[in-house]
Amino acid sequence: MSDRAAFRAFVRTHHPDVGGDPAVFAAGLARFRQPESRYDAPVTFVARRRGIAALLVRFRRRPSRVR
């Protein structure tokens, strides 16, 4: 089971909204939120070009065909 799947399974079973114990839930979150955990990393969004600019970029990156 991957880290993400383990985290989601833990939250589904121990969340206080579904009848879990709040103290157990808080302790489990602290365990998953270790510095090496990738889920605490900031979310970054990458803007993508749209319209004609995007088509030009795609066309220029396309490898040439050899016949």
Alpha carbon of 11 to those of 55, 65, 66: distances in Å?
42, 51, 53
d(CA 52, CA 55): 5
pTM for this prediction: 0.48
pLDDT tens sequence across 32-65: 877 665 566 677 787 777 788 877 877 777 666 6
